[in-house]
Chains A and B, each alone.
Chain A
Amino acid sequence: SQQGEEDPQALSIQEGENATMNCSYKTSINNLQWYRQNSGRGLVHLILIRSNEREKHSGRLRVTLDTSKKSSSLLITASRAADTASYFCATGYNTDKLIFGTGTRLQVFP
């Protein structure tokens, strides 16, 4: 079974709109991290939310965590063309190993 599943798999929006991506996981977690990956490039760390936190903000990013539903969401407000990338959630539980989801491909049209 997959630990991390993001939905939607792909999302296309216009600049200025908000983008919401969801991540569901199956096991317990200590924390959940969101990453961005531009095509063929490295992973850029966006935000970490711990299991005892419900919401975190960083600039235009807002992450929520609902441990009862085993889900997290990443909201990007006022999106820009430069936000075009794949976004991944990654979970950790009593281990330093991160388990990555399948990712959401976000396309922001100017």
Chain B
Amino acid sequence: EPEVTQTPSHQVTQMGQEVILRCVPISNHLYFYWYRQILGQKVEFLVSFYNNEISEKSEIFDDQFSVERPDGSNFTLKIRSTKLEDSAMYFCASSEWGLQGGALYEQYFGPGTRLTVT
């Protein structure tokens, strides 16, 4: 069964460093997302991406964050200068179709990257 994959599974970085989290969405999916979950808290939406551009972003997704689909398979989240409060589990998700296609479809999540900022 196709699944979303993410690398690395764990990332430890120092405050102020740049990190890139990588995701390979399900191959026929067109919509891509990043969410995060701070330990013990709710899963929070960060950004959605469709047709090579951001379709929606949350207040959390400030200028320190960026997303890219560098090729036909990868989807990345970059944090330019990490802060302690960026420590969280970051989930990538994808869906076959989305709102711009007229319907909301199931979003399938990857296993997550645990980011620890020290």
Contact = CB atoms under 8 A, between A and B. Distances in A.
Contacts of A41: 111-112
B91 A92 contact: no
Contacts of B48: 96-97
Interface residues of A, number: 24
B95 interface: yes
A30 interface: yes
Interface residues of B, number: 28
Given A33-B107, A35-B109, A42-B109, A96 B42 contact: no
A43 B91 contact: yes
- Interface of A, helix, strand, loop or mixed by DSSP: strand
A99 B45 contact: yes
Interface string B67-95: 00000000000000000000001010101
B55 to A, nearest CB: 6
B25 interface: no
